[in-house]
Amino acid sequence: MIIGKFYLANGGEYNGVIEVLGTDSCAVFKPQDRGADYLVTAAENACEFGAAWKRTSRDRKQYLSVKLDSPLLPEPVNCALLQQEDGSYALVWNRSRRQAEPKPE
């Protein structure tokens, strides 16, 4: 499920909008020298609510592995920032599938 759309700006930042539960939040992925490769901040007030790391898929495509977290979320959200054919980047979220618990013997 695509939950956001971003564009690469001068300086290596990704700027865009995250659309969740009917609200749009402008966000910026800011490159970092230490720790995570990017910090995800709200564009309005620079409040940090996530981080992203550069990754390479099995088929050698570059993407960002993203973890979003906020006091408003029940738990952290893992997603990926993937380049699209039109040059934009889609923030994609997939619900993790929990493994079935083994039945007691």
The token pair that represents 35 in the structure block: 């720790």
Per-residue pLDDT of the chain (105 residues; tens, 9 = 90+): 999 999 999 889 999 999 875 678 899 999 999 999 999 999 888 889 899 999 999 999 999 999 998 887 788 889 999 999 999 999 999 876 655 455 555
Give the pLDDT score at 83: 96
User: ∠ CA(102), CA(96), CA(79), 5° rounding?
Assistant: 155
CA separation for the pair 55, 78 (Å, rounded): 14
Considering only CA atoms, which of 68, 65, 78 is closest in space to residue 42?
Answer: 68
For the chain, what are the domain ranges? 2-93
Considering only CA atoms, which of 28, 8, 10, 9 is closest in space to residue 18?
Answer: 28
The token pair that represents 40 in the structure block: 């995800």
The token pair that represents 44 in the structure block: 């309005």
